[in-house]
Amino acid sequence: MRGLYISIIFTVLGSLFFIGWGLDELVDYSTEDKITETPATTVYRHLVDGLTSELSTLNSTELYEKVGLFQQHYQLKTSLALSRKIALPSSLVAQVNQQGGLLLASSANQYLLKSIPNHPEFLLRLELPVEIADDDNINFILTLILYGSICVTLILWLIPLTRRLYLLNNAAAKIGSGQLDVRIAKSRFSYIKVLEQSFNTMASKIETLVADNKILARSLSHDIRTPMACLRFGIEAALDSKSIEKKNNYLSRMDNELTNMEEMTSVFLDYASMERQALNLKKQQIHVQALITSAINDCQVLAKQKNINVTMSASDEAFNQLLDYHWCYRALVNLISNAIGYAENSVCVQLNHNNNAFYITVADDGKGISEDKLDIIFNPFVKLDADRSREQGHFGLGLAICSKVMDWHQGSIRVANNTQLCGANFTLKFPL
């Protein structure tokens, strides 16, 4: 951050210095050798007339001595110049002989030339003192105040920026060290709100991805041990068995275990790749009621097997919404099939909407969900019922997939008990 301060300050101060220097040179050049009439100039014109009148009464040998006395007694910078050595245009020669003399300017100062009566070969030159318009000390102080004010303004402007960048750098370093829950707090005085929001979004995705991968690795390493042990036992039993019938029985059981392992691995890998799927969503205008009807129809076979009545309740007003059909359909099927599995007699799917969002609620009349588990049911590999084993294809990923699908659609999913039927009620909220 110190380098940022120094670079900006040097850039601004350097530009001000060079611009100021250039302007000063331009002003000096534009005013160089230009004659400026001031009230003091009139006084000196009368003075040079008086001096030349006094010199006109002297002879040529006394002129130099008298001019020296002018310098000594009156502190005037006077000198004699030979007329023949001063080349003047004809328009200016006449002014030398007029009252007040001729005012000229050099690079150092201004001066008056006046002819001396009775001595045409000489001209009296009177140097005018340089007028100091402003005090140099005041100019210096004002310049320091200008540059100091610019520095203070820049520092005050940079403080919020560098503070936010410092916080952002610290947060990135903490995430790199493993503290994945670090976020940048919002501030009204931040100049980089978009960057901070993008950083927080990225950090949340990284935290979710790492957490899912940890859960995935832990669950896979835990659940794969049982079928591997069964395979090892089956191989040893088949090798030791003398009966062909027993060997075939062991081989059949090992084949079932391999099938379970393949299904488990496939499901786990599919879930692990869901973050990549979010980048390839194919959103299009979908008729919402038709989507719900399709999901219900595909679950009717399971409902008939368990003798569960699945109904739909929706308003008469039909509407379309921009959705990814595949993933929204999969989320609905997961919820409806779960409801059928836990229901006693009936499952109800209800569609409602208002000006801001539409809601899909899947309710069953089962025993509901324990209150202490309402906060964890959307975590991957969480099973609420021990009877629903993974050998039967239940891996605890259905609700986790629903939660991800809603995140992809900037929506939400929530669960409650006894709000519609006496069992669990899952509500999907999609923003319009």
Domain segments of the chain as ranges:
39-127, 224-272, 282-431
Please, what is the angle between helix 39-55 and helix 60-74, to 10°? Answer: 140
**Higher-pLDDT residue of 359, 35:** 359
Q: Which DSSP symbol is given to 423? A: S
Average pLDDT estimate for 3-22: 71
Q: Taking 60 as the threshold, does the pLDDT of residue 34 lie above it?
A: no
Per-residue pLDDT for 392 more than 80? no
Strands (E) across 276-337 are located at: 283-287, 309-314, 320-324
Which residue from 177, 178, 175, 165 is spatially nearest to 202, judged by alpha carbons?
175
Q: Please report the DSSP string for 86-101 in residue order.
A: ----HHHHHHHHSTT-
Per DSSP bridges, beta strands 346-353 and 309-314 are: parallel
Instruction: Read off the pLDDT of each residue in 10-32 and give the average, rounded to a whole number.
Output: 66
Task: Give the whole-angstrom CA distance, residue 371 versus residue 416.
Answer: 9
One-letter amino acid at 332 equals L
**287 CB-near residues (< 8 Å, 6+ apart):** 318, 319, 320
Question: Taking a C-beta distance cutoff of 8 angstroms, is the pair 29, 187 a contact?
Answer: no
- Identify which of 15-19, 33-37, 188-192 has the greatest average pLDDT: 188-192
Tell me the average pLDDT across 338-362: 88
* pLDDT score, position 391: 47
Check pLDDT > 60 for residue 386: no
Torsion, CA 179, CA 185, CA 189, CA 192, rounded to 10: 50
Distance CA(133)–CA(397), nearest Å, equals 86
Q: Could you please report the per-residue DSSP string of 10-44?
A: HHHHHHHHHHHHHHHHHHHHHHTT-----HHHHHH
Q: pLDDT tens digits for 217-247?
A: 766 666 677 777 788 888 888 888 888 888 8
The CA angle 49-53-59, to the nearest 5 degrees, is 140
Nearby residues of 366 by Cβ (< 8 Å), 6 or more positions away: 339, 342, 343, 344, 422, 423, 424
The values of phi and psi at residue 420, to 5°, are: -125, -65
**Band (332; pLDDT cuts 50, 70, 90):** very high
pLDDT at 389: 47
Mean pLDDT of 97-126: 84
133 Cβ contact list (under 8 Å, min separation 6):
none
CB neighbour class for 269 (10 Å; exposed up to 12, middle 13-18, buried from 19): exposed
Residues 106, 33 contacting (CB under 8 angstroms): yes
pTM of this prediction?
Answer: 0.53
Residue 390 predicted with pLDDT over 70: no
Going by C-alpha positions, the residue among 342, 344, 346 that lies closest to residue 334 is: 342
CB count within 10 Å of CB 365 equals 20
Neighbours of 14 (CB within 10 A): 10
Q: Which residue(s) pair with 322 in the sheet?
A: 285
Query: What share of residues in the chain are helix, strand, coil (percent, to 5)?
Result: 60, 15, 25
DSSP string, 157-187: HHHHHHHHHHHHHHHHHHHHTT-TT--PPP-
What is the pLDDT at residue 26? 63
Query: How many whole angstroms separate alpha carbon 87 and alpha carbon 64?
Result: 22
pLDDT at residue number 395: 64
| Region 282-431: CATH code | 3.30.565.10
